[in-house]
Amino acid sequence: MKQLAILGSTGSIGSSALDIVRMHPDRFQVATLTAARNIDLLAGQIQEFKPGLVSVLNKDHALDLSRKLAGDHKPDIVFGSTGFACAASHPKVDTVLLAMVGAAGLHPALAAIESGKQIALANKETLVMAGELVMAKAKEMNATILPVDSEHSAIYQSLMGNRRKDLKKIYLTASGGPFRTTPLAQFPKITLEDALNHPTWNMGKKITIDSATLMNKGLEIIEAVHLFDVTPKEIEVLVHPQSIVHSMVGYTDGSIMAQMGRPDMKGAIAYALSGPSRLDIGMAFPDFNRLANLTFEKPDCKKFPSLLFAYEACIQKGTMPCVMNAANEAAVAAFLEKKIGFTDIFKLIAQTMETHRCIDNPDLSSIIDADCWARETVLSLI
């Protein structure tokens, strides 16, 4: 039986993972859980899955959780960055599902790698911030990193059984978000409610906004560079509104391997937790008889400059990807609080990247400093 650490258990990815555990209690057991602020939901998860250790954001949340827990099972409760790292490196854990949002996932990821755990990575920011450092450490510690993003899972599955030296191109598909057909002139009028109304995927608020700006695809470009050891030139983004083809791989003989399925993260999560075996998770096939067509188009980088930011960050390397990510997180947070407009997200990221003095081959301390600098810069610009 595989012992799981689910970091970010109250979010959409973590909740879906627990659904899979419910379906296959003979395959998985929950050893540790973490969450930030949703203490009520976490308390219910603890009573159902009975982890030995849980971690929350801070001491106040830990005290609140302790008061809410009733019944016979009371796990060890820790908090903060140290607590998240403890949950990721717990000696009982085999596999860590890293589903925390944003830069907060970096320290637990490194803790899991240092402990030699298998990592199911849904937190793309970890590789965006510190991809070279993280992948080098994973190789040193013989820790396996498996992708949970539907796009990277699709690429991973499409590479199975093929020679890596035959890989020529990666096609990252994107739904296009809610503003795919919205004229650029209308972008300044986009409201928060508009941006949170995603046409195909059900995700958390931050990720939904990233989808609306196509920054999620920018982050995925950088993540793919590190996961699959390719150059940015070997990655092409295609807008695919139906979200049935999750991504594709092109080979030297002109063959294309695609992974397809319904727009539901459970498939990618289950494969990361159980692959190469496949679990019955009650997922229906796409209804091809009802699909009029599957279409693909180039993204409009004038409307969505996030893709240009990502390619530029890939070229500059060093601390630039970290700065891009931190600036985006800070700008999206401000947009969610209605402090800035939708197009201000792009402007703030561009200004922050333009003023950053990139550091080559950064260590962890330099990466953390760059992250803090970018966030402070965005706040000062606001």
Q: What is the pLDDT of residue 201?
A: 63
> How far separated are the first and last CA of the chain, in Å rounded?
50
Cα distances from 329 to residues 114, 170, 179, 261, 292, in angstroms, run: 27, 26, 20, 30, 37
Can you identify the CATH homologous superfamily of domain 2-147? NAD(P)-binding Rossmann-like Domain (3.40.50.720)
Q: At what angle do helices 39-49 and 12-23 cross, to 10 degrees?
A: 20
| Sequence ranges of the chain with CATH classification 1.10.1740.10 | 318-382
The SS3 assignment for 89 reads helix
Cα separation, 208 vs 196, in Å, equals 6
Contacts of 370 (CB under 8 A, 6+ apart): 319, 322, 323, 326, 356, 359, 362
The strand pair at 95-98 and 76-79 is best described as unpaired
Cα separation, 339 vs 258, in Å, equals 41
DSSP annotation string for 329-359? HHHHHHHHTTSS-HHHHHHHHHHHHHH----
Which residues in the chain belong to E strands, given as ranges? 2-7, 28-34, 53-56, 76-79, 95-98, 118-121, 145-147, 167-174, 235-239, 245-251, 256-260
Helix ranges (DSSP H) in the chain: 12-23, 39-49, 59-68, 80-89, 106-114, 125-141, 150-159, 192-195, 205-213, 215-228, 266-274, 306-316, 320-336, 342-355, 364-381
What are φ and ψ of residue 211, in 5° steps? -70, -40
What amino acid occupies position 280? D
Cα separation, 55 vs 75, in Å, equals 10
Cis, bond preceding 241 (omega within 30 deg of 0): no
How confident is the prediction for the chain on average, in pLDDT? Answer: 95
Please check whether residue 44 is in contact with residue 80, taking contact to mean a CB–CB distance below 8 angstroms.
Answer: no
Q: What is the pLDDT of residue 224?
A: 97
Cα distances from 239 to residues 177, 213, 230, 301, 334, in angstroms, run: 9, 13, 21, 12, 27
Q: What number of CA atoms fall less than 13 Å from residue 156's CA on the CB side?
A: 22
DSSP lists the bridge partners of residue 54 as 33, 77
Q: What is the pLDDT of residue 292?
A: 84
Note the pLDDT tens digit of each residue in 55-82. 999 999 999 999 999 777 889 999 999 9
Q: What is the dihedral of CA 205, 210, 211, 217, to 10 degrees?
A: -140
Q: What is the pLDDT of residue 246?
A: 97
Note the pLDDT tens digit of each residue in 88-129. 999 999 999 999 988 889 999 999 999 999 999 999 989 999
| Sequence ranges of the chain with CATH classification 3.40.50.720 | 2-147
Q: What is the pLDDT of residue 6?
A: 98
Query: Across residues 312-339, what is the average pLDDT?
Result: 97
Note the pLDDT tens digit of each residue in 213-238. 999 999 999 999 999 999 999 999 99
Please check whether residue 330 is in contact with residue 375, taking contact to mean a CB–CB distance below 8 angstroms.
Answer: yes
Please check whether residue 239 is in contact with residue 180, taking contact to mean a CB–CB distance below 8 angstroms.
Answer: yes
Topology of the domain comprising 318-382 = Rna Polymerase Sigma Factor; Chain: A (1.10.1740)
